[in-house]
């Protein structure tokens, strides 16, 4: 990675961690759909940082998901469970943001915060091993 890519990756990881904290606050305030949205974006920022390792950068959600699976999940660099968790957040965020009458149940999505922290932590480890 170039110095510029390292700086960008660090910024994106900072945004990922900040967004995790936003998610926690939203959950505690009872804004469950917004909580799910922020969990997804925490992963989006972290995975955007991770893709820089392979020279990829995209703002397109579907493309990021595809490259993440191809370059990291299918190769075993990231466990399949993290790929499944990201897919869950990907589809849930889309549903919550764009479908009518969607309301996530707090008890169903509460564990997603720790799972998302796990995925972001996995990405941080991969990035720290690289730099």
pLDDT of residue 131 exceeding 80, the answer is no
Token couple for 17: 């961690």
Q: Scanning the structure block, which residue is given the tokens 């972001």? A: 120
Domains (range + CATH), the chain: 3-130 (1.20.120.330)
Q: Residues of the chain with pLDDT > 70: what percent?
A: 98
Q: What angle do CA 73, 123, 86 make, to 5 degrees?
A: 55
Residue 21 CB contacts under 8 Å (≥ 6 apart), including other chains: none
Rounded to two decimals, the pTM is: 0.94
Q: What number is the average pLDDT over the span 52-68?
A: 90
């Amino acid at each position: 990675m170039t110095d510029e890519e390292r700086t960008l990756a660090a910024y994106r990881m900072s945004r990922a961690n900040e967004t995790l904290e936003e998610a926690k606050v939203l959950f505690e305030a009872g804004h469950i759909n917004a909580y799910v949205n922020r969990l997804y974006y925490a992963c989006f920022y972290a995975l955007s940082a991770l893709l820089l390792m392979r020279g990829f950068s995209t703002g397109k959600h579907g493309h990021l998901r595809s490259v993440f699976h191809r370059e990291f999940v299918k190769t075993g660099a990231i466990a399949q469970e993290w790929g499944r968790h990201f897919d869950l957040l990907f589809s849930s965020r889309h549903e919550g943001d764009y479908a009518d009458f969607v309301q996530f149940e707090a008890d169903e999505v509460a564990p997603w915060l720790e799972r998302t922290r796990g995925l972001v932590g996995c990405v941080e480890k991969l990035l720290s091993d690289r730099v």
